[in-house]
Amino acid sequence: MNATFRWPAILAGLLVSIVATLGLRPVIETDRVSGQRAALSAYTVERASGRNTLFEEAAQTQAAASALFLSQFNTLPDAEVRRIFEDRFPVYDGATRRSRDEDFDGRRLESGHLVYGIGAFLSGVDYTLADQRTVVSAYLTVSHMGPGASGLFDNIYFNDDQDRLVMFAPERDDRLEFYRRTAPPDFGFSRHPFVEIALPAANPSGRLACTALTDLLYREAERQMTIGCHLPVRQAGRHIGAFGMTLDVKAYLADTVTDPSGRDAMVISRAGDVVAHPALFTGDVITEADVARIRESLQLERLSAAITANGRSEGVIEDPTRAGYAAFVKLEAPGWFLVVREPHAAGGAASWIQALLFGLVAGLLVFFQLCLLPQRRVRTPEPIRPPDGETA
């Protein structure tokens, strides 16, 4: 190859390399970003699947309790209602009725059924037959349903908006003595979030609803925070009360947000309240101060607003609080979101290098192809010679 031909081939190869590099780099970067987003989304969906199962089991357990309650409520003879009510809920302090100690410690009925782990607080002492029927039906239901559900949940209870509560919780550290004995006569919880979320005004569809982190009633002085899930009990359009469960966040959600991959995982409410985050589990109890600090430091209100504005039950968005992505999956029963965040992968330089390599290969191919083309020799025309004997 002569020098005259080599330079056009070099220039053509160089031009192809530049065009290929500039054209391929956005494609490679888009593919890299799509891969990161897809991997993050799949990872988050997988982690959410187990939590959705947990809340589905809670909903099924409470639905079974509701069905048993209504069966008792509609079939118990009046005389039986009066007998059980007066026998099991005596006047305690002149202002309330409480359950008997033996219903927590354990007693066996003539039928052979073992009643244990029960504690109750009933505001007031004068009850109509209809109210007695509600309390007795709740008592019979939790005494039967509680032991059966204890393999999954350590408590189940019935409450209404008249400050009446009947609970099965045999493992509760205070042995339910707060409700059975130490709660003051004027103790009330009708305005507590776990009651309000079950009322028709807040829950017209009558579905399972869960609070964000809220304080335990019997540990109000310590302000220990837990979550509560409640299913309304209604008949013929009338709201009777709700069955609920108190769930310890550490026991039920710690593994969901403890992320071995190093990503930042959390469960948040639609309002931007933190439900579970590794930073919550550094102390023995979760306090309101912990919740407020984490909500502020993670800017959860902005994150929740961005997820809600997306309008989907799962997806990946640009993290509005830092450079990175936030994958989310809605936990259907409580209406919360599992969110997993990670920073943008450091791939800008890598995509340029990859595109440059492709460009160089393309440029070399063009260069060698041009080199292999047959080269025409430029022939200089011979001068016209006059015939012999003639002169020009």
With helix as H, strand as E and coil as C, how does 200-251 read?
CCCCCCCCCEECCCEECHHHCCCCCEEEEEEEEEEECCEEEEEEEEEECHHH
3-state helix vs strand vs coil in the chain, percent to 5: 45, 20, 35
Number of neighbours of residue 36 by Cβ within 10 angstroms? 17
Number of H helices, E strands in the chain: 10, 15
Q: What's the CATH number for 40-52+251-343?
A: 3.30.450
| Contact (Cβ atoms closer than 8 angstroms) between residue 66 and residue 231 | yes
195/159 Cα distance (integer angstroms): 8
Partners of 120 in the β-ladder: 166
Contacts of 247 (CB under 8 A, 6+ apart): 58, 153, 226, 227, 228, 229, 253
Burial 247-265 (b: 16+ CB within 10 A, else e): bbbeebbeebbebeeebbb
392/386 Cα distance (integer angstroms): 6
Determine the pLDDT at residue 51.
73
- Give one word for 112, left, alpha or beta, with left for phi > 0 and alpha for psi -120 to 50: left
Contacts of 139 (CB under 8 A, 6+ apart): 84, 88, 89, 99, 118, 120, 166
| Contact (Cβ atoms closer than 8 angstroms) between residue 88 and residue 101 | no
Q: Say if 40-52+251-343 and 55-249 have the same CATH topology.
A: yes
Rounded mean pLDDT for each run of 10 residues along the chain, 392 residues in total = 54 56 52 70 82 83 96 97 96 94 92 91 96 97 90 89 95 90 90 89 91 65 71 95 87 78 84 85 77 87 90 89 89 84 68 55 54 55 59 50
Residue spans of the domains in the chain: they are 3-28+347-372, 40-52+251-343, 55-249
Determine the pLDDT at residue 291.
83
Structural domain 55-249, CATH architecture: 2-Layer Sandwich (3.30)
DSSP assignment string, 302-332: HHHHHHHHH--SEEEEE-TTSSEEEEEEEET
What is the DSSP secondary structure assignment for residue 373, as one 8-state letter? S
| Contact (Cβ atoms closer than 8 angstroms) between residue 177 and residue 109 | no
Please return the burial class of 64, using the count of CB atoms within 10 Å of its CB with bins 0-12, 13-18 and 19+: middle
Determine the pLDDT at residue 24.
47
Amino acid in the structure at residue 120: A
Measured over all CA atoms, what is the biggest interatomic distance in the chain, rounded to whole angstroms? 154
Contacts of 222 (CB under 8 A, 6+ apart): 285, 287
| Contact (Cβ atoms closer than 8 angstroms) between residue 325 and residue 317 | yes
